[in-house]
Structure 1
Amino acid sequence: MKKRLTILVLILILIIPQINLAASKSKQEDNFEVELREGPIRDQNIFVPTKNGVQRATYEEALTIEELEKKSLDQLTSAYLLGDYDTGTILEAKDIDTVRAMASTSKLVSIYLVFDAIKAGKISLEDKVTMDAASAAIKGSNFDAKAGEVYTVKELIEAALVVSANDAINALAIHVAGNVDNFVQMMNEKCQALGLKNAIMINPHGLTKYAGEEEALYNRMSAREMFELARHLIKDYPQILDYTSMACINRPDRDYIGYSTNPALGIIEGVDGLKTGYTNAAGRCMIATGINKNSKSPMRIIGITLGCKNDWARYVAVKKIVEKGFKEYVLEDMADPKKALKEIEIPDGRPQKIGAYPDRAVKIIKRADDKVEVSYKIDENLTYPIKRGQSLGKAIYYKNGKEIQVVDLIAKEEVKEPFLLQKIQILIRNIFRDIKNDKKETQEKEVLEK
């Protein structure tokens, strides 16, 4: 009996830990299932920007957006601007001349200089850049680069524009100019060359520099100047859009994946750039751009929102201003220098009819209900000889009855004097015309006398 009891105790000693282990494992699995169920449930019918890219919204996110969409752009921002890239026309705006902190949107100035250096042949996209310790230590949005790691210029441009990497843009600044101070001087010179008179740059990335307890230094310019900066940059280096339209950077070799900071990318069709920013001094800001493909002529707009209080407010503000630009405005090609606007008669000339061509393209931005008209003012007593490029008159464009543009009309072919035989024919024709006119006048006079 004693022996049997001993065996039973031994069996229990062996079995009980296994039971506890199984129970523990089961409990862990149950907890895992609970954690899964307690994670964000993304089941709403709208897509939103998240730290992991564009996804369906959670119920709470959808409610937040719904409430923010009830607010106006005036309420969501401290300043905003909607403008046309091609013509430079500012369509809608609020407080665009106040000079403000611009946070990481100032990376556009830095990237401008990088592209300038590539164009000048000073550096190339395939140059190898060793990440320095100072750049790697910069806080804020980063590429998680470590000191001593080597990247190409192209990889650092991607990081600076897609994930707003401060370490990447600082390393590029040193590669271009030798040190940060030289690069900042170049930034300020570039701003002045572009006519951005209020712009002040203190670093390549846009982070606030605290000089004391009360003094804060930061990159700054007005919303109007940000608009001009974006226009110049896209015009000079349209390849920037190849970078800013990237949804993410995926580097499996580094176990790194970073998604674009642009909240409108992948959500609003046509959006392909440009740059976000955030500091306490600047609030959440954004310079967005995209092409309205539904316009009669493809129309690139630039929408700027500044001083938003949080990420969702910025997202809604950007969405409002971009969609407003796409829905309410169209760009129409009214005149093309390669196409004659009007045919003009040149009596007795050779030839006797020529086309009147605009000396430049005319594009007009209009709302759907705007009425655009054109009138022509042709120079009086036009006669041969006429030279190529000679002015023939003007085309005047009106929108809703208000004059908005005047374009010169020019000749693109010569009008010469007629040949001798033509001159004789013209002389005979004129003689018979005069005889006919004299006879008609005589008959009319006789009728009056009777």
Structure 2
Amino acid sequence: MRRIGLLFIAVALLGSVLHYPFSVQAAPPIATHAEAAALIDVQSGRLLFSRQGDKTMRVASLTKIMTAIVAIDHGRLSDQVKVSKSAYGKEGSSIYLKLGEEMSLKHLLYGMMLRSGNDAATAIAEHVGGSIDGFAYLMNEKARMIGMANTSFKNPHGLDEPEHYSTANDMAKLTAYALRNPVFQEIVKTKVKKAPNPNEAWDYTWFNKNKMLNLYEGSDGVKTGYTKLARRCLVSSATRNGQQLAVVTLNDPDDWSDHAKLLDYGFKHFPLADLIQKGEHVPGTQYVAGLRFSYPMLANERSQITTKIELHDANSVHSRLGEAGKLHYLLNGKDIGDVPLFIEGSSRLRLPDRSTFSFNETRQGEMTWPEKWLYILQFVVRDLFMGRTT
């Protein structure tokens, strides 16, 4: 019965998430050394800068961002994962796992994200997805669910392979999605991690390869990447004044410098603008805002913000729970998000805050309801027969 209840909750959430724009607005020019680059505001998902952002390219170990979030979403962190023959000695960067060694999924995630261990990525994929192909299927379904329209994953580690590619814009959207997961956020901001080592008298000690954590004030993630064909790839993030930004560069020989420059650019030109506070009265109405609403904007964009009110039917579930409607915010006529409306003094205003933004499929990559049902059913069946929660 618990799992049936979870199924209906998952379906309800899929049907209720918001759609918000993922587009670049006019802004001052800036140059980088990257073949492709993107800058995104994590909370809103607004793309602040993009250069060749939709060009399909190799992304090397940036792939592991997707591997990590799929494992976190569909695995169990306390699981003990046994290292298979295919994971042991996997080529490329490694945390030097032994054949048959067992390590928790949580520690494998740290080894994969801090040291870019391809052996850890392979072990994670086989455990969570049943096989490399099975896990790649989960990766691609997750990509489709969050609107990565120009991405195809074939493996969990990012070693060069035909039909394994993404774009700067898609990787930016994935990073924004992943950074809103507290487990992922904690892993990627960690500079040094120790983990039990069953083969030696000392613990594993992993130092994060992401130099931005030490080079840039407020840096808090996320992943480096390199192959001979992809060249230098990097995703970084930083938080200042309550705003978190993320940068993606692909094939960038001067990535550390470019990331600092792009982060500075974003914080300077697109600071968060508070449009309404929780409990604030909406002029001309009897309603107050149920949430604070902030959005990253250029200085001259404030005058381009308009609003519209959408009231719920009196017999709807929302109305019966006390929510009168929604206040939509539009930038140049495009909906950028909304906040719930309540009668002043409503007990609902005392509930914990949630984000005013949610991830959703893009219009181009939207799944049909039968596809959504099949996607959810897959994990329910997997939970029933493999004994793992999703």
- TM-score, normalised with respect to structure 2: 0.68
| Identity %, equivalent residues | 24
| Change in 2 beyond 3 A, CA 1:377/1:267 | closer
1:357 maps to 2:288? yes
| Change in 2 beyond 3 A, CA 1:168/1:88 | same
Q: Deviations over 1:258-287 (max 9, x none)?
A: 321212002212111111111122221111
Residue correspondence of structure 1 range 84-95 to structure 2 within 5 A: 84-95=41-52
1:284 maps to 2:284? no
Give the helix-richer structure, 1 or 2.
Answer: 1
SS where residue 185 of structure 2 aligns? helix
Alpha-carbon offset, residue 117 of structure 1: 2.1
Q: Which runs of 5+ in 1 are unaligned?
A: 1-71, 119-123, 210-216, 345-353, 380-386, 415-450
Q: Return the alpha-carbon distance in structure 2 between the equivalents of residues 157 and 115 of structure 1.
A: 9
Q: Alignment partner for residue 247 of structure 2, among 296, 299, 303? A: 303
Q: Return the alpha-carbon distance in structure 2 between the equivalents of residues 192 and 377 of structure 1.
A: 30
Residue of structure 2 equivalent to 1:176:
128
Q: Deviations over 1:37-96 (max 9, x none)?
A: xxxxxxxxxxxxxxxxxxxxxxxxxxxxxxxxxxx9645100111111112211122110
Contact 1:106/1:219 (<8 A) preserved: no
Residue of structure 2 equivalent to 1:204:
156
1:412 maps to 2:343? yes
Q: Alignment partner for residue 186 of structure 1, among 128, 131, 138? A: 138
Alpha-carbon offset, residue 129 of structure 1: 1.9
Q: Alignment partner for residue 190 of structure 2, among 239, 246, 250? A: 246
Residue 168 of structure 1 aligns to which amino acid in structure 2? A
Residue of structure 1 equivalent to 2:174:
229
Residue correspondence of structure 1 range 329-340 to structure 2 within 5 A: 329-340=270-281
Count residues with an aligned counterpart: 301
Alpha-carbon offset, residue 105 of structure 1: 0.8
Q: Return the alpha-carbon distance in structure 2 between the equivalents of residues 373 and 248 of structure 1.
A: 46
Residue of structure 1 equivalent to 2:53:
96
Alpha-carbon offset, residue 318 of structure 1: 1.6
Q: Return the alpha-carbon distance in structure 2 between the equivalents of residues 97 and 148 of structure 1.
A: 41
| Change in 2 beyond 3 A, CA 1:190/1:149 | same
Residue of structure 2 equivalent to 1:262:
210
Contact 1:132/1:171 (<8 A) preserved: yes
| Change in 2 beyond 3 A, CA 1:337/1:246 | closer
Q: Return the alpha-carbon distance in structure 2 between the equivalents of residues 110 and 246 of structure 1.
A: 18
Q: Return the alpha-carbon distance in structure 2 between the equivalents of residues 331 and 273 of structure 1.
A: 20
Which structure ranks higher in relative contact order (CA pairs < 8 Å, sequence separation ≥ 6)? Answer: 2
Q: Deviations over 1:386-432 (max 9, x none)?
A: x986679x89888xxx7777979966169xxxxxxxxxxxxxxxxxx
Alpha-carbon offset, residue 156 of structure 1: 0.4
Contact 2:40/2:176 (<8 A) preserved: no
Residue 245 of structure 1 aligns to which amino acid in structure 2? K
SS where residue 279 of structure 2 aligns? coil
Contact 1:130/1:148 (<8 A) preserved: yes
Alpha-carbon offset, residue 161 of structure 1: 0.8
Residue of structure 1 equivalent to 2:22:
none
Q: Return the alpha-carbon distance in structure 2 between the equivalents of residues 300 and 259 of structure 1.
A: 23
Q: Return the alpha-carbon distance in structure 1 between the equivalents of residues 155 and 340 of structure 2.
A: 49
1:146 maps to 2:77? no
Q: Deviations over 1:211-261 (max 9, x none)?
A: xxxxxx2521111111111122222x2221111111123468457543212
| Change in 2 beyond 3 A, CA 1:168/1:366 | same
- TM-score, normalised with respect to structure 1: 0.59
Q: CA RMSD in A?
A: 3.3
Residue 82 of structure 1 aligns to which amino acid in structure 2? L
Contact 1:272/1:289 (<8 A) preserved: yes
Q: Which runs of 5+ in 2 are unaligned?
A: 1-28, 310-318, 346-390
Residue of structure 2 equivalent to 1:166:
118
SS where residue 198 of structure 1 aligns? coil
Contact 2:279/2:344 (<8 A) preserved: no
Q: Return the alpha-carbon distance in structure 2 between the equivalents of residues 323 and 375 of structure 1.
A: 25
Contact 1:207/1:218 (<8 A) preserved: no
Alpha-carbon offset, residue 356 of structure 1: 3.9
Residue of structure 2 equivalent to 1:82:
39
Residue 141 of structure 1 aligns to which amino acid in structure 2? S
| Change in 2 beyond 3 A, CA 1:84/1:149 | same
